[in-house]
């Protein structure tokens, strides 16, 4: 058994940090060395830990438990066992977050440095995700009507998109280079400047051969469309399985896109 740990200070409310930690698939996707996530039949994460010229690759079935101040992610793989315990301690202006990672399995005697990197990068991810969440949600009435507008959108029906746009406003436009698995990173970056739970993000490459649309409520993907020369894939998220597929689809979005962000302006 190899144990590594770290602790960080996060200047965000405890609620924001807990929201990040409870969104298990979203959080695990942001771990380092995670190469694939599958939601079919429970959450599974394929993790590849590098050391020297070796790569220790295994698929872990991740289970999540929590109590009043700690969050435990228990990963059981074919060749190893990985446990991450995150403990929160709330102070007036910040939250102390202690992370402990233990690993038992193939290569454990060599992986010390990699595991230290692993736990530090997870800490960094928690910090970034928690601090980029909007501090205050918009007033409840607006939220509920925004939710209603968003719930009606299905990318396979262009008229539902038209309906949404007629009640929306463009708040951001820019050229963004999206790296591998970077759509979620871009969403986090955009969220930092925009105070709306519901976001419609659309991107298209210069030559128009690839494009995407994604509708989000908080960190949840409600619907996604990706089109390239092979055709168009559309997912409207209705259960956990759809959520996993939607997450997979976000990984196909790579390259330079002209990105526009629309938010509902409220009112019907």
Partner 1 sequence: MTAETGRSAGSTPWDIDPFEELYRLWKAITEGIQLGMPHIVGRARVEEGRVSGLEMNVILHETETELSFKDGDYVYFIIPAKPEEGIEGIYVRLDKILGDRG
Residues 176, 257: contact at Cβ < 8 Å? yes
- Site residues (CB under 8 A) for partner 1? 158-159, 161-163, 165-174, 200, 202-204, 206-209, 211, 227, 258-260, 262, 265, 267
**Cβ contacts of 166 within 8 Å, gap of 6 or more:** none
What residue has token string 């969050």?
71
- Residue number with CB closer to partner 1 (180 or 268): 268
* CB of residue 135 to partner 1, shortest distance in Å: 22
Residues 237, 155: contact at Cβ < 8 Å? no
- Residue number with CB closer to partner 1 (7 or 193): 193
Neighbours of 256 (CB within 10 A): 12
* CB of residue 207 to partner 1, shortest distance in Å: 5
* CB of residue 245 to partner 1, shortest distance in Å: 22
Cα 17 from Cα 89, distance rounded (Å):
11
* CB of residue 152 to partner 1, shortest distance in Å: 11
* CB of residue 268 to partner 1, shortest distance in Å: 8
Residues 98, 7: contact at Cβ < 8 Å? yes
- Residue number with CB closer to partner 1 (140 or 158): 158
* CB of residue 169 to partner 1, shortest distance in Å: 6
- Residue number with CB closer to partner 1 (169 or 179): 169
- Residue number with CB closer to partner 1 (1 or 159): 159
Neighbours of 221 (CB within 10 A): 24
Cα 63 from Cα 26, distance rounded (Å):
14
Cα 101 from Cα 32, distance rounded (Å):
13
- Residue number with CB closer to partner 1 (170 or 177): 170
* CB of residue 215 to partner 1, shortest distance in Å: 12
Cα 167 from Cα 174, distance rounded (Å):
21
139: which DSSP letter? P
Cα 168 from Cα 46, distance rounded (Å):
39
- Residue number with CB closer to partner 1 (137 or 170): 170
């Amino acid at each position: 058994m190899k144990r590594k740990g770290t602790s960080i200070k996060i200047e965000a409310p405890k609620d924001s940090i807990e929201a990040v930690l409870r969104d298990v698939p979203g959080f695990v996707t942001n771990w380092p060395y995670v190469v694939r996530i599958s939601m079919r039949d429970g959450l599974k994460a394929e993790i590849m830990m590098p050391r020297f010229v070796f790569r220790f690759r295994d698929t872990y079935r991740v289970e999540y438990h929590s109590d009043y101040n700690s969050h435990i992610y228990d990963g059981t793989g074919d060749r190893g066992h990985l446990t991450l315990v995150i403990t929160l301690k709330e102070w007036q202006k910040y939250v102390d977050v202690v992370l402990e990672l233990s690993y038992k399995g193939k290569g454990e005697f060599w992986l010390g440095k990699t595991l230290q990197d692993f736990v530090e990068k997870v800490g960094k991810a928690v910090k970034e995700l928690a601090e980029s969440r909007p501090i205050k949600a918009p007033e409840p009435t607006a939220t509920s009507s925004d939710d209603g507008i968003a719930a009606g959108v299905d990318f396979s029906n262009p008229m539902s998109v038209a309906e949404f746009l007629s009640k929306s406003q463009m708040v951001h436009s820019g050229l963004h280079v999206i790296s591998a698995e970077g759509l979620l990173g871009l969403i986090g970056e955009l969220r930092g400047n925009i105070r709306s739970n519901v976001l419609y993000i659309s991107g298209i490459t210069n030559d128009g051969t690839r494009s995407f649309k994604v509708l989000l409520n908080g960190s949840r993907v409600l619907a996604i469309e990706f089109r390239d020369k092979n055709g168009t894939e559309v997912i409207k998220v209705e259960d956990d399985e759809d959520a996993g597929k939607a997450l997979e689809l976000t990984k196909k979005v790579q390259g330079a896109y002209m990105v526009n962000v629309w938010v509902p302006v409220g009112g019907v």
